[in-house]
Structure 1
Amino acid sequence: MIAARGLTKRFGGFVAVDGIDLEVARGEAFGFLGPNGAGKSSTMRMIAAVAPVTSGELRILGLDPGVDGPRIRSRLGVVPQQDTLDLELSVRENLYIYGRYFGLSKRVLGPRIDELLDFAQLTERADSRVEPLSGGMKRRLTIARSLINDPELLLLDEPTTGLDPQARHLLWDRLYRLKHDGVTLVITTHYMDEAEQLCDRLVIMDGGRIVAEGSPAKLIAEHSSREVAELRFPPGTNAAAEPAVAAAIGGAGRIEVLPDRLLLYVDDGEAAVQRVREAEIVPASSLVRRSSLEDVFLRLTGRSLVD
């Protein structure tokens, strides 16, 4: 579905995407994980055939976006980072007008809109204006709108940013259903739990480059420990506490010093916390959790996803 070799995007002297290689297979849920400014959105705009490639090779659905942009766009669905709905129109009218952009007839659009309203759980709001809808409803409508042309490839740029947990999980369910129906998904996100939940495979980007690639489980196994113990000390004392904590765990794991906490990458988090307490080091709080993709990103780039 997507094949890139040496893909590069420059804006003047700034390199937004720096010679990346990637492939996305049909039916796959593929993710771009990274902080703001990593190059995710620039890559997505090239894949969507709305931004020209500076250098390298890119093929979408077997076509060259520099030559076959309209043909590619007719087979894509795009969910932008910001909703671009017409707030003064109804839910149904938003879907109808967008479908007409693709040249779909009224006869085709009638049943298709009904199916998409049911899919997005918006049937009861079909004739409501968009403006008063909740953020979650607007996001579901944006996804429904992106499916109006029955796309083979769906691009989602930060699909759940700003949504509450319940709305996020409902959107995840909708995306699971699309994948089950054979739609190829390409997702950018800076939420590691979202990437773990949705993606079969992903790349971690930083500074326009791919720093790691694989399934979420594979990346965690290769680049992090089984567990992480988080220790919080009074403000401004985390760095000062690090040497004593390192001595207490005796080289049993790696330590990362963040502004608000110490992270101990160990196989047994509870045992590490116990050794720290036995050394008469008393953190303000402690937490033991499993490793996540954020830990992988921190290991590979030296900073957290929220930086």
Structure 2
Amino acid sequence: MSKNIEFKRHRRLRSSASMRSLVRENHLRTNDFIYPIFVIEGENIKNEIASMPGIYQVSLDLLAGEVKEVYDLGIKAIMFFGVIHEKDEQGTGAFVDNGIVQEATRIVKKDFPEILVLADTCLCEYTSHGHCGVIHNHDVDNDESLKLLAKTAVSQAKAGADIIAPSNMMDGFVAVIRQALDESGFSHIPIMSYAVKYASSFYGPFRDAADSTPQFGDRKTYQMDPANRLEALREAESDIEEGADFLIVKPALSYLDIVREVRDMTNVPVVAYNVSGEYSMVKAAALQGWINEKELVLEKLTAMKRAGADLIITYFAKDAAKWLNE
């Protein structure tokens, strides 16, 4: 090769595992993960969700064992979703003091006070119609729904939730919940807003797990159109102005461009929600032997960090923590 040819030697920084580790720009840690848990009414229940291998609905009497496993792996935060049998049009099970998420929260804060408990604040798991609010004229009534969501948030805070995570996508939900928390003596409780939540096809397995499939229509009048980018920035900006302490982008993997844009527009923590469909596709391929599950999962979680996520809500949290601890 002619000595007159000049080019850069980028491979110098890839020459060994130690060298690659030294110059690595983004890192995964167990502290990055929030692990979702589905708590179900009844006793001695641990139902594996057919469409989400390795994920279970767990009854309250078995919850401490599940949380201990999470705690021992070094995961510092969990998020509760409730699964109940008796539902009504108002979603009363979401905001009663003895609701299943409230009871789960009390158990965890008693036995594992160091773990942060995030309470998903929505009505869809508790309404007979499966929508995220009150139905009037065959549509979700935004402002009437806000009243019940505020009651839910206060109830969850009273039970000991460390973070309120409203996922309903009603206009004004952060402002109304912030006011309700403040007036009830919970001004210290942060809000992790599902600020950017798309009407995605990746939610199917979750709806099996939480029994929250809409009984009519869909959620496209309140969740976002997957084709839209600027709308996401408007939603995020509104939630910041209303008092959100964290911003969630959901789903994550197909919306990494949105994660980056939200990261670039704000200095509040950004959370990527690695949703159920993203989990189930990987698990299905792994069970067929088509992929290296460990390498693929760690790669895609790293991609979420690279895109700008500070935290990741993921059903892979336990698996990823085990791999990172190896």
Instruction: Judging by fraction of residues, say which structure has more strand.
Output: 1
Q: Which has the higher helix share?
A: 2
Provide TM-score, normalisation by structure 1. Answer: 0.30
Q: What TM-score do you get using the length of structure 2 for normalisation?
A: 0.28
Structure possessing the higher radius of gyration over alpha carbons: 1
